[in-house]
């Protein structure tokens, strides 16, 4: 069961509770969030559906959670449902359902390729929220951030576009100079938008504190500006110039992980086998990171936060690099169904890394 499957399952439990007269909710939510449990949580997945419904149902969240729990326990594929905190539902899947979820996930990534995680959740955003005015003379970080936000929004179906303001900005007035156009306190201000003018300004970001173009190669420039949150300063150049796994260079880790996935596919071909997900692979952290990718893309687009995607790629790369040593046969060992399945999972990880890097405008080398 994928997160999308579980979201529909929880919604069905809500509808059953409403139909049984146990929950008095007039308008059902269009979707509920299902995500990995936070630290200290239980199970494979968690949802805050009970907290979301508590106010409309005029009931305490934990009471709503108990109602939903009763209707989730008989769902095939769910082994256990726990209630934690103020009313979170924690879902534990049956082993066979967990294995099926892994197969469906890898198959989906292989079918969708680098567009895995794309969707249309933001297709209905109004035009003023997806049309960005980039000021004349914007600094390099603001230009990179705005273009990346546009790419993220487009990945979620929003018709985002960038409009360049080519009007030179007037020099800042002197402190003692008269301000003829400054509105007087209490005077009405004209806030009428100009016809056809974008109403959404480019995302704000702290400008670079050094000349990134002069110090860093192109990929590192973008990573230095996009990896931190916009209100944080760009990354210092020294770690980004050290190309080793232990250097703390997140960009190198992500690109190296992608190159390792490509190398595994080449080496497996030399050994005479390819990727086929025939049986369950015990790699819960890697499967979880791959399964989280669509939600990360959506959140990064909603919040205009490419740094969320960059951090996710680092976590995925770290998890994959810990898994990669199990993929190929060792010594005289013959390739088996397990090796083919691990190779398929490695291929999926490489695909997701490449897709994420592409959205950030960073290359995904096959050799490094």
pLDDT tens by residue, 203-229: 889 999 999 999 999 999 999 999 999
Specify the domain boundaries for CATH 3.30.1360.70 within the chain: 3-93
| Cβ proximity of 274 and 268 under 8 Å | yes
The Cα 200–Cα 218 span in angstroms is 28
- Judge whether residue 65 has pLDDT over 90: yes
Residue of higher predicted confidence among 26 and 64:
64
Say what the pLDDT of residue 240 is. Answer: 94
| Cβ proximity of 229 and 309 under 8 Å | no
Closest CA to 313 of 299, 298, 292: 292
CB-based contacts of 65, cutoff 8 Å, min separation 6: 50, 83, 87, 88, 89
Percent of the chain with pLDDT over 70: 90
Q: Which CATH class is domain 241-359?
A: mainly alpha
Average pLDDT on 228-253 reads 90
Residue of higher predicted confidence among 102 and 310:
310
Say what the pLDDT of residue 189 is. Answer: 36
Interval 79-98: pLDDT, tens? 999 999 999 999 998 888 87
Specify the domain boundaries for CATH 1.10.730.10 within the chain: 241-359
Interval 114-149: pLDDT, tens? 999 999 999 988 888 899 988 888 899 999 999 999
Say what the pLDDT of residue 180 is. Answer: 41
Say what the pLDDT of residue 171 is. Answer: 54
- Judge whether residue 328 has pLDDT over 90: yes
Say what the pLDDT of residue 191 is. Answer: 35
Task: Give domain 3-93's CATH number out of 3.30.1360.70, 3.40.630.30, 3.40.1370.10, 3.40.50.2300.
Answer: 3.30.1360.70
């Amino acid at each position: 069961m994928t997160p999308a499957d579980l979201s529909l399952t929880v919604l069905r439990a809500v509808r059953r509770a409403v139909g049984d007269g146990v929950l008095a909710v007039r308008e059902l939510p269009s979707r509920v969030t299902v995500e990995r449990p936070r630290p200290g949580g239980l199970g494979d997945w968690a949802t805050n559906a009970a907290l979301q419904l508590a106010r409309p149902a005029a009931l305490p969240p934990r009471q709503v959670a108990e109602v939903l729990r009763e209707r989730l326990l008989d769902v095939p594929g769910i082994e256990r449902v726990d209630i934690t905190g103020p009313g979170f539902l924690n879902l534990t899947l049956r082993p066979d359902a967990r294995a099926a979820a892994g197969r469906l996930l890898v198959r989906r990534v292989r079918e969708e390729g680098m567009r895995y995680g794309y969707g249309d959740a933001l297709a209905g955003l109004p035009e003023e929220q997806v049309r960005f005015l980039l000021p004349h003379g914007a600094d390099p970080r603001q230009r990179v951030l705005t273009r990346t936000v546009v790419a993220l929004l487009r990945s979620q179906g929003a018709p985002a576009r960038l409009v360049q303001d080519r009007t030179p900005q007037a020099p800042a007035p002197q402190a003692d100079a008269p301000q003829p156009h400054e509105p007087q306190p209490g005077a009405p201000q004209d806030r009428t938008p100009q016809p056809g003018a974008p109403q959404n300004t480019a995302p704000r970001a702290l400008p670079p504190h050094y000349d990134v173009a002069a110090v860093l190669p192109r990929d590192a420039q973008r990573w230095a500006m996009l990896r931190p949150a916009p209100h944080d300063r760009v990354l210092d150049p020294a770690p980004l110039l050290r190309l080793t796994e232990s250097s703390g260079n997140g960009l190198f880790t992500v690109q190296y992980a992608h190159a390792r996935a490509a190398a595994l596919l080449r080496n497996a071909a030399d050994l005479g086998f390819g990727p086929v997900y025939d049986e369950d692979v015990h790699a819960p952290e890697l499967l979880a990171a791959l399964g989280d990718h669509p939600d990360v893309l959506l959140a990064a687009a909603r919040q205009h936060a490419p740094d969320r995607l960059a951090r996710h790629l680092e976590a995925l790369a770290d998890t994959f690099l810990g898994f990669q040593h199990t993929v190929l046969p060792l010594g005289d060992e013959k390739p088996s169904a397990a090796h083919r399945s691990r190779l398929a999972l490695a291929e999926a990880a490489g695909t997701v890394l490449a897709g994420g890097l592409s959205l950030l405008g960073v290359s995904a080398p096959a050799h490094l």
